[in-house]
Amino acid sequence: DAQNLLENLRSEYPALVEELVPATLTVGEVQEVLQNLLNERVSIRDLVTICETLATQARVSRDIDLLTEYSRAALARQISRQYAPDGTLHIITVGPRTEDEIAQSIQQGDRGNQVAMAPWAMQRLLGVVGTEVEKVAAAGRDPIILCSSRIRLALRRMLERRLPNVVVLSFAEVTPQTQVEAVGNIEVNVGNEAIHR
């Protein structure tokens, strides 16, 4: 499928496709990025933007996770429209201390970047996230967590089994024109008590 998409794109943008495949990435690597986007319900209809981003960023890194995050940032307008059709994004924030603790616990695993916390700390964090998500869902809103790009993917992977419907966005995926309204906050002090407001 990825090969077919690229061949269709080649008819209109031959130089772009030549620059990308096989000069910079393999078809398999492009396919992995597209699969990552689709796994999180991000449309790949704007293949030109995705391929332009990959052609530029793959010169610096061929890390699939990183390339996926760059592609998501390049699709910010589309992602903002998807989750804020009326121009306002209702989000659950991640407190700075919690964000730092997650960032410090990220480790490279066989499935890319993962949160590697002690089991009790992970349970505490998942409990607080679950509580916030339930409150937002009870108010009739889709649960969307907004955090920095440094933890976005690892946080999403941590939540995908227990809370598969939670959307995790980074600040880079929200356009400046989008109004952001916080409807919840995740703050966990893994060292002491869990705090959530």
pLDDT in tens, 85-135: 999 999 999 999 999 999 999 998 787 888 999 999 999 999 999 999 999
CA triple 103-159-57, angle to 5 deg: 55
Q: What is the pLDDT of residues 156-176, one digit of tens each?
A: 999 999 999 999 999 999 999
Would you call 107 helix, strand, or coil by DSSP? Answer: strand
Q: Residue 181 pLDDT > 90, yes or no?
A: yes
Cβ density class 99-111: b for 16+ within 10 Å, e for less: bebbeebbeeeee
Would you state the pLDDT for residue 142? 94
pTM: 0.92
Q: Please, which pLDDT band fits residue 191 given cuts at 50, 70 and 90?
A: low
User: In this predicted structure, which of 3-7, 71-75, 88-92, 105-109 has the lowest mean pLDDT?
Assistant: 105-109
Residues in the chain, total: 197
Question: Cβ(37)–Cβ(50) under 8 Å?
Answer: yes
Question: Cβ(182)–Cβ(93) under 8 Å?
Answer: yes
Would you state the pLDDT for residue 192? 42
Would you call 181 helix, strand, or coil by DSSP? Answer: strand
Strand runs labelled E in 37-172: 88-94, 106-109, 112-115, 144-147, 167-170
Our measurement of the distance from residue 7's CA atom to the centroid of its chain's CA atoms, rounded to an integer in Å, reads 27
User: Judging by DSSP bridges, how do beta strands 144-147 and 88-94 pair with one another?
Assistant: parallel
CA triple 109-185-64, angle to 5 deg: 25
Kindly report the average pLDDT of the chain as a whole number. Answer: 93
How many of the other CB atoms lie within 10 Å of CB of 82? 15
